[in-house]
Amino acid sequence: MRNKLRLLTPGPTPLPEEVRLALAQDMVHHRKAGFKEVLHRVQEGLQWLFGTRQPVLPLTCSGSGAMNAALWNLFAPGERVLVVDAGKFGQRWGDIAQSRGLEITAIRLPWGVAVSPAQIQEALDNDPSIRGVLVQASETSTGVLHPIREIAEITKVRETLLVVDGISAVAISPCPMDDWGVDCLLTGSQKGLMLPPGLAFIALSPRAWNEVERHPCAVAYFDLLRERENCGKNQTLFTPAINLLNGLDVSLHLFRKQGLEEIFRKQWALTCMTRAGVQALGLDLMVKENYTWGLTSILLPQGMDGQRLLEIAARDYGVVMAGGQDHLKGRIVRLGHMGHVDFADILAGIYALRQSFKACGGHSGSRDYLEISLAAYQQALDHKT
């Protein structure tokens, strides 16, 4: 009998049944009253989720599209930005900034290390011309959680915008945009939001909107001023991904029923569970501190074929996990625990990791690894985050 397939990657993530049914609805016209009602509900839900009173604009693209939209609207060629380069997606900030013609100052860190507020402070003190700080909330390539709240304390008293990629953080770990002082927060649909890929979302602070008004957008598709104008009329600038927005309407309803505190509590508990199980197996965690709540990166012993381990886990145990990127390819396993997953999925993932590790010549640790995992999960649930 074939194993049940469990998708435990850092995105895409599994979809709730209610969302899948919404995605299967008949097509409607995106300029008619019925769909405007959907967009109105979605807008209210997104503002609640982002923790902002500003509009949250849906864009029909991947999260990288929203990253492009941010830089094309907020900055003019020749302006300088500070890039936190601590992984694959920190590098992407640099690539997009370069394509926009921005001058770049980079804080380059070993993969698996979070930036410190002191490093941000020093860089901004050394160069007052820096107009923006570009950083991931969660660096998906490694599982590092950067200290966004502390960075915002530094940027909000300067003429420096804080631009945050929250693609693997929104709906996974706290990042209340207005309360913390984040100037631009963006995310994608396929991770914490429990949707297929294809949508991105971006919100700007009032002072960020002032910068947008100062920089005429050079890309018609990502003109955020025109998107904001249409959003006020419960419309999008161009044809949206209609069924994905129907799914989002349902996803946000599920979030509202559960409440943000409970969502974050569960995500934290799954994180504690995964890390405890991995350590009980005698495996090394790539990120020892400042770790994200949505995925866990596991270091493999030197010489072990990480790609083969992933193939065995998927083929024999029905658990799909992700490997590393660039120089970490074959060296780490990234086990996702974000979105529509629960403790049973993570238990299956840890079991598949153990069995596949053994099949590749590794030696597992404690036989009580599942009990240790569950105990960590329950302990985390019993304590508010």
Tokens 């965690």 appear where? 285
**Residues linked to residue 81 through DSSP beta bridges, in sequence order:** 104, 132
User: What is the distance between the alpha carbons of residues 251 and 195, in angstroms, rounded to a whole number?
Assistant: 8
Residue (of 70, 139, 135, 65) closest to 107 by Cα position: 135
Can you say which residues are annotated as belonging to the binding site for substrate?
Answer: 334
The phi-psi region of residue 81 (left if phi > 0; otherwise alpha if psi is between -120 and 50; otherwise beta) is beta
The answer to whether residues 135 and 85 touch, using CB atoms and an 8 Å cutoff, is no
In the chain, the N- to C-terminal Cα span, in Å, equals 40
Give whole-number Cα distances, 354 to 54, 333, 338, 365, in Å: 46, 12, 20, 9
User: What is the distance between the alpha carbons of residues 181 and 38, in angstroms, rounded to a whole number?
Assistant: 29
Tokens of 65: 């599209």
User: What is the distance between the alpha carbons of residues 185 and 177, in angstroms, rounded to a whole number?
Assistant: 7
Helix or strand (DSSP H, E) at 50: helix 33-50
Q: At how many degrees (to 10) do helices 343-359 and 260-280 cross?
A: 20
The answer to whether residues 312 and 277 touch, using CB atoms and an 8 Å cutoff, is no
Can you say which residues are annotated as belonging to the binding site?
Answer: 334
**Residues linked to residue 78 through DSSP beta bridges, in sequence order:** none
User: What is the distance between the alpha carbons of residues 108 and 83, in angstroms, rounded to a whole number?
Assistant: 8
